[in-house]
Chains A and B, each alone.
Chain A
Amino acid sequence: MGLENPSLPSDTAIVTKLDEAIGWARESSLWPMIFGTACCAIEFMSVASSKYDISRFGAEVVRFAPKQADLMIVAGTITYKQAPILKQIYDQMCEPKWVISMGACACSGGFYDNYSTMQGIDEIIPVDMYVGGCPPRPEALLDALLSIQRDLRQEKYNPSRHKDFKGSLDNV
C-alpha cells in the first residue's frame, strides 16, 4: 500500500478507510491454531515444514492455545464425540477470527457417512473457507490462506460465513 515509501515527504497524510488499514495490518499477521485430528494434520505438517513453508505467507506462528490465535484450521475428521471440544475451543478464540475447514471430512463428513462422524463442521461452528481433498495437497491449504488474506485486503470481513452454519450445539 506504499506506506513505507521513502520518497513521500514526511508530513504527508494518507487518506484511507479505517477498515482497509486494519485489513492491511491483519492480512499478514494471521496466527493459525491447528485443530488437527487425522490424516489432514499430517499434511499440515508438510505445509509447515521446509518445502511448502507457510511462513512465506505470514502465518507461521502456529499457536496451540486458542486464546493466542485468530485463524483456526480444522484439519481432519470431527466426530460427534469430538464436536463439543471443537466448539469449546472455537468459543475461546477472540474476535476477529476465521476458520478454514481442511479436507473432505471437516467440510462434509467426506466418505464417512455413518453414525459417528459429524457431517461437516458447519453444523457447530461457522466456516470461512472450505478446502476440498482427502487430504488436500499443501498448495490447496496455502491457497485458502491466500484467499482469506485477499478478502482482508478487500475489507470483506467474513462476507458469507454464516450461510451454512447450523449451530447444532448452541444453546444447550
Chain B
Amino acid sequence: MSKYVTVLASGIHSFIKYLYDDGFNYLLDITAIDYSEYIEEQKEKFAVVYIIRHSDFKQIKIIKAYLDVLEIESISDIFKGANWLEREVYDQYGIKFINHPNLRRVLNHKEFEGHPLRKSYPITKGQLLHEVDDLVDEMNNKLYSKDVVCSLEDGSFSECNKDLMFLNIGPAHPASHGTIRTYVALDGETIEAAVTEIGYLHRGFEKSCENHTYNQIVPYTDRLNYCSAISNNIAFVKTVEEMLDIEITPRAEAIRVMLLELSRIEDHLVCLAAILVDMGALTNYWYIYNPREDIYELLSKLTGARLTNSFMRVGGMANDLYDGFETELEFVLSKVKDGINEALSLIEHNRIFHDRTQNIGIINAKDAINASFTGPNLRASGVAFDMRKDNPYYGYENYDFDVVVGSVGDIYDRIMVRFEEIRQSTSIIKQVMNKLPEGDVNIKDASVVLPEKESVYNTIEGAMNQFKLIIDGVKVPANEYYSSLEATNGELGFFIVSDGSGTPYKVKVKAPSFTAMAAYPDMIEGSQLADCILTLGSLNIIAGEMDR
C-alpha cells in the first residue's frame, strides 16, 4: 500500500501541484523524519513526507523529499489543510516552509526553545511557560488582511471603520472542550475575525512512542481520542500488524469490527450530549448520556476499564468475550436506541433547534476536502467518503450498512449524520454478533503474541518467550508505512517508521480533529458569537487527538 515517490526538495511544489491536477486533491498528512540515528545511513539527515489521497478515495501517494538545507516550499496555497500541518513540522522539527502565510509554533508554547521531535532533543527536558501568548499580532495581521484595520506609519495598527471588541473564548471554558482557545474580534455580536490557538493538551505522544515498545504504546493510543479509546487501539495495532505482514484470526476481526462500532456509538453519544447542552437543551443530555453509562459498564466488564480500555494487542486482543456478553450487549443497544429516540423526539421537529443549527457554520464539499476534513464532518458536507466502504478492512464489505451524508454541511447536518450513524452502527453490531466466528482471538506466533500463562510458569521456553517479548517488544521489520481506518471522527491513520527493533523509530498520527480545527476560524468568521460554540461542538474536536 505505501510506496514512496522520492522528489527533489526544490521541485516539491510543482510536483504536488501536478498531482493535484491529476486528481490527488485530498491531503492527509505532512510530517518529517529525523534520520540522524537511523540504522541505515540516509541521503540527508531530514526528510519531509507528504501523504495525499486521490479523489476516488482509494489510492494514496506518499511523497518524500530529502532536505539538504532545512527549508522547503510551502504547499499551503494548494491545500488549505496544509497550513497547520506545516506549522507543526516547523514546530517539532525546525524545518522552515518558504512562502507560508503564518509560520509559527502550533503545539509547543512560545517560550519553548528547540524542536522536540528531533532526535537530539532529550525527551524529559521540560520548559516552563511564564506568560501566555496574547495572539495580538496574529489577530492584527488577520484584521489587516480583511481591511478591518489600517496600518499606521509607525508599524502599529488602528481600527479604521469599525468599533471592535476583543474576546478570548477558552482555553478554560466549559464549551471550549477544555483546551481550545479562540481569540475573536467582535463587531457587536458578529465575529469579524478569529484566530485559534491549540496545543494546550500537547502531551508528547509521538516522542513518547520513540522510547516504548509497540505493545506499550497501546495505552498511549487510548488517550488520543479518549471518547472512543478502542478504535485508536485498533488503528494502531492494525498498522503494526500490516507491517509485520500477519493476518489476525476471523474471530478477532469480527470482535474488532463490533468494538469499533460500539466505540463509534460511544463517541457520537458524548458529542451529541455535549452539543445539546451547549445549546441549552439539558434534558437531552440525561437521555443520551445514560446509555453511554451502560456502555461503560459493559466495557469495564470486558476490558477492566471504563474509559481507557487498552484492549488490543499486536496479533489479537487481551482476552476473548466473556460468557453472557451478547445478552448484555443487546440490552445496552436497546438502551441506546431508546435514548436517541427520546432525544430525537425532543429536537427533531423543534423550531428552536432548527433555528440554531440550520444554515449555520457551513462548509461546502469542495472547501471541506481542501481543508482535509474527514469522517462525519466531511460526510455532512455531502462527500460520501467512508474508509469502511472505500477501502474495506476486517470484512466490512460483508456487512450491510449505509454511508450517511448530509447536504448543506451545516451544524444540523453534522448532528443528524451522527444520530443516523449510531443507528447504522447498531445494525452492523447485530450483523456481527449473528455470525460471530468461533476460534481463538490471538494468532499463534511466538514472536508476536505472549505465551499462555501456564507455559510461562511451568516451562523455561515459555518464561524466556514472555521475557523477550516484554523486554525487547515485537520486532517489526525496517519499513516506513502508513495505514488507516475509519475511526469515529474519520480517517485515523498511523505513519510508522521502524528500524527493525521492538521500538518504533518514529510514529505520526494523522488525527482527524487537527485539520478540522484548522478550518474552524474561517468557518465562524461572519457568524454570531453564540454560533461559534455550536460550530465547535458539532465538529467534535477531541483535544487529546488534536494536540497529541
Name A residues whose Cβ lies closer than 8 Å to a Cβ of B. Answer: 34-39, 41-43, 45-46, 49-51, 64, 76-77, 79-86, 89, 105, 111-119, 134-135, 137, 168-169, 172
Contact = CB atoms under 8 A, between A and B. Distances in A.
Contact of B126 (A37, A76, A86, A119): A119
B462 interface: no
Interface stretch (B73-81, B173-181, B360-368, B379-387): B173-181
B200 A81 contact: yes
A47 to B, nearest CB: 11
Nearest to B197: A81
B172 interface: yes
B202 A79 contact: yes
Contacts of A119: 126
B544 A84 contact: no
A8 to B, nearest CB: 41
Contacts of A84: 129-132
Given A41-B178, A135-B308, A85 B132 contact: yes
B46 interface: no
Contacts of B125: 115
A38 B286 CA distance: 21
Contacts of B285: 49
A88 to B, nearest CB: 8
Main secondary structure of the interface of B (DSSP, over half): loop
Bin chain B's interface residue count.
Answer: 35 or more
A80 B203 CA distance: 10
Contacts of B130: 84, 169, 172
Given A38-B544, A42-B270, A134-B308, A115 B223 contact: no
Interface string B127-166: 1111110000000000000000000000000000000000
Contacts of B286: 49-50
B220 A38 contact: no
Interface of B: 107-109, 116, 121-132, 171-174, 178-179, 199-204, 207-208, 219-220, 223, 226-227, 270, 285-286, 289-290, 293, 296, 306-308, 543-544
Contacts of A135: 306-308
Given A46-B296, A80-B109, A111 B171 contact: no
Contacts of A85: 132, 171-172, 200
Nearest to B208: A114
Contacts of A49: 285-286, 289-290, 293
B326 to A, nearest CB: 23
Contacts of B290: 49-51
Given A50-B293, A85-B200, 14 more contacts: A38-B223, A38-B226, A79-B200, A80-B126, A112-B204, A113-B123, A114-B204, A115-B116, A115-B121, A115-B122, A115-B125, A115-B127, A116-B126, A135-B308
